Amino acid sequence: MKIRFWGTRGSIAVPGKDTTGFGGNTTCVELLLESGRRVIIDAGTGIRALGEELSQRDRDLEIHILITHIHWDHVLGFPFFEPIYWKGCRILIDGAPTCMKGLRYPFDNMMGDGFFPVKFHELSARITYLDRLRHGPLVLDDTVIEKVELHHPQGGYGFKFSWGKKSMVFITDNELRHDGWKGRKIKDYVRFFEGADLLIHDSQYLPEEMETKKGWGHSDCLTVVDAALSAGVRHLILFHHDPSRKDHQVEEMVALARAMVSDKGAFLAVDAAREGDVIQL
C-alpha cells in the first residue's frame, strides 16, 4: 500500500510560514491499494491539490472516498475536488453514516444563501453511497476495511486496512481516555490496532493541554504512544496537528513521544504526519 498525506492539520486550514514543514491543509490521505485501487480518506482542504494532480491523468476514474465524520475540517475541500466535475468519474462513498449529508450540504443547503454556486445534482461524476461499513467490513480487492467508533463529539469512524499479513490503522479525531467514554475504553482501541504495521492517530494535544481540552474528542501524544506500545504497533504517525502548533512545536512533540519510547526501552518508530510525505507499506 502506498500512503500519501495531502492534509494533516486539524480544525482549520492554516497556511503560512509557521506550517510549511508539516502542512496547513486539513485531513486528506490518499491510499493506493496493492491492486492499484485508489482510496481517499476524508475530504478536508488537502483534497483540492489531490484532485488537481489527478487531472493530469485519465479522467475515466473510479475512486473510493471514506469519510471519518462530517466536521468541517474533514469535508470542506469536497466542492473543490476536480473529479466531481468529470463525466467519466465514478465516486463511491462510505464511512460515517452521516457522510452523504456532510458532502451534500455545501452544495444544496447553503446554495440559497450564496455559499456555493453549484447544486449537488449538477455534479457530472457518478457519486454513489455504498453504505457498507455501517453494517460490517468493506472488502476492496485483496484489502479488508473495518471500522471502529470514535470517541468524538457527534461520533465518527476510524478504519483498519488489512491485506496479506499487513495492516494499517487510521484513527483521527479520537480521544483516548483512561476513564473511558460511552463504555469504550483504551483497551478496546488497543485491540483494534493490535500488531498494526502502521498506526496513524490523532494527537492534537500535549499532555498538559488536556486539562482544558477534555471532552473535545482529541488525544494527547503520550497517551497515544502508550496505547501504540501496548498494541505492539511498529510505526506510529501523529496526526491532526493543532492549528496553532508551529512546525518546531510539532518537532518537539515528536521528540517527547520518542523519549517516552526510549525511556521504556521499547521499540516504536514515531513520526508526525507531514503534508506531501509518501509511505510505502
Give the alpha-carbon dihedral of 250, 267, 260, 217, to 10 degrees: 60
Q: How far is the CB of 26 from Zn ion (least distance, A)?
A: 7
Residue 71 interacting with Zn ion (CB under 5 A) = yes
What cell was used for 157? Answer: 469512524
Nearest to 27 by CA among 64, 61, 78: 78
The Cβ of residue 116 has, within 10 Å, a number of other Cβ atoms equal to 16
Q: Output the smallest distance, CB 218 to Zn ion, in A.
A: 8
3-state secondary structure of 157: strand
**Cβ-based nearer residue to Zn ion, 24 or 123:** 24
CA dihedral defined by 31, 241, 102, 156, rounded to 10 degrees?
80
Q: Stretches 13-21, 52-60, 63-71, 80-88: which one binds Zn ion (CB under 5 A)? A: 63-71
Which of 30, 42, 73, 275 is the binder for Zn ion (CB under 5 A)? 73
Task: Please report how close the Cβ of residue 275 comes to Zn ion at its closest, in angstroms.
Answer: 15
Type of residue at 155:
G
Largest CA distance in the chain: 59
Which residue lies nearer to Zn ion by CB, 64 or 71?
71
The rounded distance, in Å, linking the Cα atoms of 67 and 41 is 6
The minimum distance between CB 172 and Zn ion, in angstroms, equals 6
Number of residues counted as binding Zn ion (CB under 5 A): 4
Which of 1, 3, 7, 10 touches Zn ion (CB under 5 A)?
Answer: 10
- What lies within 8 Å, CB to CB, of 169 at 6+ separation is 158, 159, 160, 161, 192, 193, 196, 198, 199, 200, 201, 233
Do 114 and 174 touch, CB atoms closer than 8 A?
no
> Is residue 26 within 8 Å of 77, Cβ to Cβ?
yes
Q: In what order do the strands lie in the sheet with 166-171?
A: 138-140, 143-149, 157-163, 166-171, 198-202, 235-239, 269-272
Q: Give 10 or 79: the residue with its C-beta nearer to Zn ion.
A: 10
Pick 73 or 94: Cβ nearer Zn ion: 73
User: What mask, x for binding Zn ion by CB under 5 A, covers residues 170 to 199?
Assistant: ---x--------------------------
C-alpha cell, 74: 474533514
Closest contact distance (angstroms) between CB of 129 and Zn ion is 20
Question: End-to-end alpha-carbon separation of the chain, Å?
Answer: 5
Nearer to Zn ion, 173 or 226 (CB): 173
| Residue 158 interacts with Zn ion (CB under 5 A): yes or no | no
Only segment of 45-53, 65-73, 84-92, 159-167 that touches Zn ion (CB under 5 A): 65-73
Smaller CB distance to Zn ion: residue 167 or 203? 203
201 is a site residue for Zn ion (CB under 5 A) = no
Which residues within the stretch 107-146 sit at the binding site for Zn ion (CB under 5 A)?
A: none
Nearer to Zn ion, 143 or 172 (CB): 172
- For Zn ion, the binding residues (CB under 5 A) are 10, 71, 73, 173
